[in-house]
Amino acid sequence: MDYKVIDRENYYRKGVFRHFSEDCKCSTSMTARIDVTALAAHSERTHTKFYINFLYILSKVLNSREDYRMAYLWETDELICYDVINPTQYIFHEDTETCTPVYTKYSEDYSRFYNDALKDIEQAKKTREYGLDPANHPNWFDASYISWLSYDSLNIELPDGYLFFPPIVNWGRYRREGERLVMPVTVRLNHAIADGYLVANVFRLLEKEIEAFANNS
């Protein structure tokens, strides 16, 4: 994995970073419903899986700007930005009611990502091990589908003072509202590297990329 070290003295969020990494260590999370009508129609028309299509779009959005690819190396006290971050998805086993983490490398090439995700999912179905391995997968973000509910809010708690910067994204079942299909999405980011604008921007970018994906694929 490749990354660059951020010069904190010239970091554009220098003051905010210092405050929320030293004085008031906290995270910020937001839940909103996004319009997935076009993506659902595209997935049905192309006989592809809505879940993987959304995972691809989400990965593309989070790789689109440095703010979402930040990390903190506590061993060296360095703020860094990865060149690429990859999704850690989760496969649910009905028989044990447990999940298995699945590491799928992000590729901007949709066909490659789609096929890799399919293979990774099928492989994960063969095991019941939790198998989370963050030490060997530092440049990965959490992407978890809550398939049983079209929820209205969700909050992810992390230990106080823990400078964990990778995004944590959850989404639930989509539901019909009038002529639209809307899906709840929750985005959690550390406040040291993201504020309300940057969190809200994830939702704006998701809808923008969904429209482009559905129209151009």
User: Cα–Cα–Cα angle for 151, 155, 160, nearest 5°?
Assistant: 175
Q: Is the separation of the CB atoms in 107 and 32 below 8 Å? A: no
d(CA 49, CA 71) in angstroms, rounded, equals: 31
On the CB side of 196, CA atoms within 13 Å amount to 0
Q: Give the pLDDT of residue 135.
A: 80
For the stretch 89-134, pLDDT in tens is 999 999 999 999 999 999 999 999 999 999 999 999 998 888 888 8
Among left, alpha and beta (phi > 0; psi -120 to 50; other), residue 97 is left
State the Cα–Cα distance between residues 27 and 156, nearest whole angstrom: 9
Structure tokens at 79: 């703020």
Report the alpha-carbon distance of residue 64 to residue 51 in Å, rounded.
20
DSSP strand pairing (70-73 vs 78-82): antiparallel
pLDDT given for residue 160 in this prediction: 66
What local confidence, expressed as pLDDT, does residue 84 receive? 98
In this structure, which amino acid lies at residue 26?
A: C
Q: How far apart are CA 217 and CA 131, in angstroms?
A: 34
d(CA 134, CA 106): 16
Q: How far apart are CA 96 and CA 112, in angstroms?
A: 31
Residues in the chain, pLDDT under 50: none
pLDDT at 156: 85
The whole-model pTM stands at 0.95
According to CATH, the superfamily of the domain at 3-216 is: Chloramphenicol acetyltransferase-like domain (3.30.559.10)
What is the C-alpha to C-alpha distance for residues 73 and 166, in angstroms, rounded to an integer?
12
Q: DSSP 3-state assignment of 163? A: coil
Length of the chain: 217
